[in-house]
Amino acid sequence: SMPGAMDFAAAVHELTDPVSVEFIEEFQRSTIHRPLPDSFVARVVDESRKLPAHVWHGIIDGMLATGPARELGTAGIPTLLLWGEKDAVFPREAQDSLLAMIPGAELEVYLETGHAVHWERPEEFVSDVMAFLRKPVALEGGVVRRAPL
């Protein structure tokens, strides 16, 4: 679950075109814990400005309408969860729920990191994803190693 989801949804539904730069910047900065270069945040804000209000509305509506994917537990898909301990969007309890729902799922916790793990710790993020992708996967009938990346 996302703390403050309903308040955020209400704010998103008030958006009209063009979506205000102030809203976009406040939203993007709210996902970050570790300082990032202003030039990087400016690029993220510029890219986000390309989204019309109806896209923001659709994204939040889709997020709120989507319940937990309980079938993930039966899919047998190797799963890596990447989470920043200072994530202001999804709390640790949400990660624990996913871990309980998905047998064999792995959780990498990034200390002093917010929601945007891939922005705040890009080298560690890539390293962890690549290490996960290189792990052998146990399948019926034997073990299959993923192709080298």
**Residue 122: per-residue pLDDT:** 97
- Percent of the chain at pLDDT > 90 equals 72
CB 13, CB 57: distance < 8 Å? yes
Higher pLDDT, 136 or 145: 136
Residue 14 has pLDDT above 60, yes or no: yes
Please check whether residue 89 is in contact with residue 115, taking contact to mean a CB–CB distance below 8 angstroms: yes
Residue 34: phi and psi, rounded to 5, are -80, 140
Whether residue 26 is predicted with pLDDT greater than 70 in this model: the reply is yes
* Residue entry with tokens 């202003």: 38
Confidence at 103, pLDDT banded by 50, 70, 90: confident
Question: E strands along the chain, which residues?
Answer: 80-84, 106-110, 137-139, 142-144
Q: What is the pLDDT of residue 3?
A: 75
Would the pLDDT of 61 be above 80? yes
Task: Determine if residue 76 is left, alpha or beta; phi over 0 gives left, psi from -120 to 50 gives alpha, anything else beta.
Answer: left
Rg (CA), the chain: 18
